[in-house]
Structures are given as structure tokens and as C-alpha cells.
Amino acid sequence: MKLEDFYFKMPKLKTETIIDDTTLRDGIQMPGLATGPKEAAKIAKLLCELGVERLEVFHYQQPDKEAAKLIHSMKLPCRVAAWCRAVREDIDSALDLGFSEVGISHPVSHIHFAAKWPDKTDEALLANVVDVVEYAAKDHGMRVFVHGEDSTRADWAFEKKWVNAVADAGAECYRICDTVGLGLSDPAAPVVNGIPAKVKALKKETCIKALEIHAHDDFGNAVENTMAAIRAASGVWDKIYVSTTFLGIGERAGNAETEKVLLNLYLQYGVMKYAGKTAKFKEAASFIGKATGYVVPPNKAIVGDYGFAHESGIHLHGVLNNSWTYEPYPPELVGNTRRLTIGKQTGKSGVKHKITELTGVEPTEEQLAAVVEQVKEIYANGRRASLKEEEFKKILLAQKLLFNGAN
């Protein structure tokens, strides 16, 4: 069987998708995570290699500044943008570090206005953002994105006024920020938190040139909402930026995962510019985990160690005969590895395969029965975890199926 038997079936998207990865900004805001300049630069390189076209990074603390300088020095093929608050000093910092592109973030909902600036009017807040956008775009020729924080709880009449004002000030892209993850992918959902409705309304009722979606995962819907925005943009917007983080790391429940969005775009929608890029996924996951201190869950989709692990008798029997029975695509496609583990649910066929794999020789029925019995005894005594390979080898040594020094 081939990928073509199952994938590339959806109509081609009538919009260009651009992955705008914010692992080095929103991702490392996750509590307990941090990374050094050299590791950050390596992460940037890996992300570019797997298909990311724009990177968003911090530039406030000294390690962030050093990382930004290293990333610039590598002359990567992807764009690199500095995340900024709506203050001129942030733009100056980005300029000093050699950035030609910035994202200016500011809330657009009155929930945030009342909590953060109770003494300021809507007009005063908007005037400040317009000033900073003009300072970056018109005074210094920078490419400017404006991030509408808490967009999915904003008053639409005010938000579209806001978007038109920043567009007139020189912003080229507006980011819908589903800041607390309550956005809805349903096309019938109204424009306030309905992602498809907002994507279409922004095109119809504002003059902004480009659009971006930035989804948080508080409801577990970040990838769904990101894909919903892409589908809604098809035939409406020439291009849509999708803001993601690798592994979904980020504040609270995190963000839409870069690897999930990219793989869906490639396999389901046939976005062929990502062909050949996905084999870097597992390498990137491993490095980002180690570099930031994030522990990748073993059952994490696509890149987890158990993503292609099989232990139960039914699954092992199926996979050994035809891997497509319990695998949606070859593990090599995403740089992962098939793992056939021995545990409580493993049957004779799985044990037999593992013995043959480790010894190079098929066991006799008597030998197989002895090993199966020893495995059952281990789990009868309360064992829960799968056997490590070294543990299984000790069983084979005891049964004289493997000898000291053998691999």
C-alpha cells in the first residue's frame, strides 16, 4: 500500500498556508521551560528544515538577544520576527538586533482593557497601537503583524475598527488570537468566537492584507480551530499564516502543534511543499524536549516514543502481517520508529517475533512456551510496565536462547 491509497484526497486549498512557528516565544513561556542561545539557534534551524517559513522570537533578556543574534548569523531560509509589545522601546530593541519584521501584540477585548487599563479609553489605547505600528512600518520600513489578543472575546464592531486602523497605519497582517481557547470551528458559530465566521468577516469588512490564526488549547481544540481557519480562508484569502508551537508547548494548555498542522496540510490536503520535510519531526521533538526541559509524553501523536509501539497480541499479529493494520502511515515518514514491546497483553506471536529479532533464530515450540510462561509469571507478580529490552534478554539468557556478549 502507498500513501496515495489513503491521503491527498481533499480538494486543493485555494489559499497559501504559511507556518509561523512561535516555539521560541510562546512555547518557552510555558512554566518551567527555558533554553540557552545555542540551543535556541539549533531549534530555529530544525524548524526551518521541517517546513516552517516564519519564526517568532523573544528579544528582552540577554540570552534572548544572544539567541536572536545567532539566529540572524545563520542566514536561515525562513523569516525571523521579533515579538513586541505596543511600545516604541520594543521596536527600538528589535531594530538594534537587526530585525526587519515584528509582531506587535495588544489586547482587543474589553475584558483586558478593564483589567489592565481601567483609566484609559478605547480611543486612547487604539491611538497608541496605531502610533507604534506607524513607527515600525512607516518610520523604519519594517514588516508589521498586529496580534489581536483575546480576539475571540472582542466586540466585533470595535475589533474591525481596530483592524482597519492598524492596516492604515502600515500593518500587513492581523492575527486572530484565540487567547483562552474558546474559539469554535463550527461554520455556524457567530463572528465573536466563531473562527470561520471571523476569518470571512475580516476579509469582507476590513482592509488588512493578510490574516493569521493563533489558537490555544484550553478546550483541546487548537489544531481543529487552526485547520478550520485554513479551510475558511480557502478561496477567500490569498494566504493565511498559522501560528503554532512544536509539541504544542506554551502557556497553560499550550498551542496548536506545528507537527500536527503541518502533517494534516501535507497528507490530508496535499500541500506538497511539505513533502520530504516531515522526516525531521522526531529529531526536532527530541532536541526541543532536551533543550527546553520539556518531557515529551510517550503517547504524543506523531513524535511520541509510543506513537508506533505495539504490545497487545491482536495488534502485534496485525502489524507483523501488514503494518497498515494499526499504523496510519509509515513511522519513517515522521522520523519515528516502530516498537514491538513485550508486556502483559503480548501473545505467543509477539514473543516469537521478539525472540527471532534478538537472536536471529526462530525458537522451537518448547522454547517459545518456556519464555511465554516466564513472561506471564512476571506480570502475575504485579508488573505493569512493558519489559525493557535488557530485561527480555535476561529471560532469553536463562532459557539459553541468548548468550553473554550476544546483541
Do 173 and 89 lie in one domain? The reply is yes
By mean pLDDT, which of 120-129, 156-165, 348-357 is the weakest? 348-357
In a domain, 118, yes or no: yes
d(CA 233, CA 337): 35
Do 23 and 86 lie in one domain? The reply is yes
Q: What are the tens digits of pLDDT across the range 359-379?
A: 999 999 999 999 999 999 999
With a CB cutoff of 8 Å and minimum separation 6, the contacts of 18 are 53, 54, 239, 240, 241, 242
From the list 101, 105, 21, the residue with the least C-alpha distance to 288 is: 21
In a domain, 407, yes or no: no
d(CA 71, CA 321): 46
Domain total in the chain: 2
Q: What are the tens digits of pLDDT across the range 75-117?
A: 999 999 999 999 999 999 999 999 999 999 999 999 999 999 9
In a domain, 347, yes or no: yes
From the list 26, 27, 25, 20, the residue with the least C-alpha distance to 293 is: 27
Region 184-193 average pLDDT:
96
pLDDT-derived band at 278 (thresholds 50, 70, 90) equals very high
Give pLDDT, residue 144: 98
The pair phi, psi for residue 121, each rounded to 5°, is: -85, 160
Q: What are the tens digits of pLDDT across the range 236-247?
A: 999 999 999 999
CA distances from 168 to 27, 90, 106, 171, 237 (A): 31, 21, 17, 7, 19
Contact 226, 242 (CB under 8 A): yes
Do 236 and 281 lie in one domain? The reply is yes
Domain boundaries, position 160: 3-292
Do 131 and 239 lie in one domain? The reply is yes
Do 284 and 321 lie in one domain? The reply is no
d(CA 371, CA 296): 33
In a domain, 177, yes or no: yes
With a CB cutoff of 8 Å and minimum separation 6, the contacts of 205 are 160
